[in-house]
Amino acid sequence: MVLPHSMPLVPLPHSATVGDDRTPLARIVGVIGDSPAVEQLIDGISKRTGVRLARSTESDGPADSTISLRIDPDAAAAEGYTLTVGSSTEIVGADEAGLYYGVQTLLQLLREGDDGWGLTHASISDAPRFPRRGVMLDVTRHFFSVAEVEKFIDATSALKFNHLHLHLTDDQGWRIQIDSWPKLTERASLTAAGGDPGGFYSKDDYRAIVSYAAARHMVVIPEIDLPGHTHAIGVAYPELVEAPVLNDGLVAESARLGQPLPVKGEPYVGWGVGHSSVRIHEERTYDFVRDVVRELAELTPGPYIHIGGDESLGTPQADFDVFVERATEIVVEAGKIPVAWHEVGAAAGIAEGTIGQYWGKTTPEGTHAEEAAHFVERGGALIMSAADVAYLDMKYSSDFPLGLTWAGVVDVRKAYEWEPTEVLDLPDSAILGVEAPLWSETARTIRDVEQLVFPRAAAQAEIAWSPRSAPERTWESFRSRLATLAPLWETADIDFHRSEEIPWTDR
Ligand code: TNX
């Protein structure tokens, strides 16, 4: 078979040679190993081909008729693996995550040809460039079920993303059960943007998402957005929030979109920002934050809690500073590492080690770069989510039916061609990696989410995983390798956007 591309792999591995020969799947009798990745590989092959391999042992046949999976900490750096397909087929993970990523690579080498299914011969040694490779899903503006989030985890962990940030609260709804403040979900979760139905995760739902993600080596980062983006809190507990601040921009934009203005205590179904704030000078606000953070920390095995901090336009700067200094400290007291949007870096005394999430543009505007740098001065580091390249909710083209345009129009090439260490004037060591956020104002269904996320998330995956200077780390190579993901996404029922920039292949 003539391969659609000499290296049908995304993200590009650290080093790889891929041959022309194939091992027919029909020759493989089973998979050897005792890791959970064995069952994940058997499932993955079965979903793609209908062939369900057995679990087998060394004695079941010659080396070229089995796939063997094992762990060897010396095989590669953390999360890395080596993979061989040839006279024998073997994946050696440096750890369980590495084995899982090796399995994802092997599934990309599994191709259907005129002669049936086969594994393309390859010799690969791989490990990630950045330890932080994240995606974010906004489940507030629109709500997505546990099953839909799990499908999202499958598709993004297959691209070797290892963090899932869940934006759990915003003006339009509160989406996580908190036992000490039960009205949050009883009253403030019922609707979504545009008046669409809302929803929330019970604690068991959230635990199910966390463990599903963990089995795919993704750490869940829950976000409670504070002190702005808090209108929904006031639907449940009006005494915790200020009256909406109706700035001129909000009034004009709401009129243009035909959306209602926020009314205190009533569900907000528009998507204007910057009008809500919790009460900064009421001690009860901090009792609330402490309870929510404590309950979330109990539910979350991962080390992080995100406290938001973006677009608090209705909160005076001095109040904002007081609030975020206290909120980051509350997260530390709960035993977690605070994460916050870059505006939080305006406050001098944020808790040491707080991680900032930069969502300004690739050419920083206003005070964004200074705010971001302050996290590093306080012993923290940065996650890069530059909005004009990494925001998955921007339109691909100005006539694309879904998405927004405030940060620009982001086609696949633009999503691919940026460098996270060159946005801010900071040492490379200050950059933990990349996160690609999907805000859901215009994404009403998981189909809509998938149209916006795929294929652009693959561009962010390669930026976060692959070596910056590899010869194949170019747009021309990427677009033809990306093309080969189409049959994998089709099998997984992912409604990806068939951008005309990409020469999609059938198999
Ligand atoms: C800005 S990015 C926001 C969100 C919106 C998004 C839409 C950020 C930290 N805040 O509230 O959903 O733009 O693109």
Which domains, ranges and CATH numbers included, belong to the chain? 15-126 (3.30.379.10), 132-468 (3.20.20.80)
Query: Exposure string (b/e) for 380-391, b if CB count within 10 Å is 16 or more?
Result: bbbbbbbbbbbb
What is the per-residue pLDDT across 99-128, written as a single tens digit (0 to 9) for each?
A: 999 999 999 999 999 999 999 999 999 999
Q: How many residues belong to the chain?
A: 507
* pLDDT tens digits for range 411-459: 999 999 999 999 999 999 999 999 999 999 999 999 999 999 999 999 9
Q: What is the pTM of this model?
A: 0.97
Please state the atom number of ligand 1 nearest to the C-alpha of residue 310: 9
Set 112, 150, 253, 311: catalytic member: 311
What tokens appear for 48 in the block? 């793609």
Within 8 A by CB and 6+ apart from 377, the residues are: none
Protein residue whose Cα sits closest to atom 5 of ligand 1: 439
Query: How far out from the chain centre does Cα 496 lie?
Result: 16
DSSP string computed for 106-168: HHHHEEEETTEEEEEEEEEEE--S-SEEEEEEE-SSS---HHHHHHHHHHHHTTT--EEEEE-
Query: Is pLDDT of 314 > 90?
Result: no
Residues 6+ apart with CB under 8 A from 365: none
Give the residue, by CA position, lying nearest to ligand 1 atom 4: 439
What are the backbone angles phi and psi of residue 413, rounded to the nearest 5°? -65, -40
**Residue at 177: amino acid letter:** Q
- pLDDT tens for 353-376 read 999 999 999 999 999 999 999 999
Instruction: Please compute, for residue 386, the number of CA atoms within 13 A of its CA located in the half-sphere on the CB side.
Output: 24
Compute the distance between CA of residue 19 and CA of residue 340 in angstroms, rounded to an integer.
Answer: 45
Provide residues with CB under 6 Å of ligand 1. 273, 310-311, 341, 359, 391, 393, 404, 439, 441
Task: Name the average pLDDT for the chain.
Answer: 96
Which atom in ligand 1 lies closest to the alpha carbon of residue 311? 10
Cα 237 to ligand 1 centroid, rounded to whole Å:
24
Kindly give the pairing relationship between strand 30-32 and strand 54-55: parallel
If you average pLDDT over residues 495-505, what whole number do you get?
A: 98
Euclidean distance between CA atoms 220 and 435, whole angstroms: 13
Distance CA 418, CA 237 (A): 43
For 208-218, the pLDDT digits (tens) are 999 999 999 99
Dihedral (C-alpha) 38, 39, 44, 49: value to the nearest 10 degrees?
100
- Per-residue model confidence (pLDDT) at position 5: 61
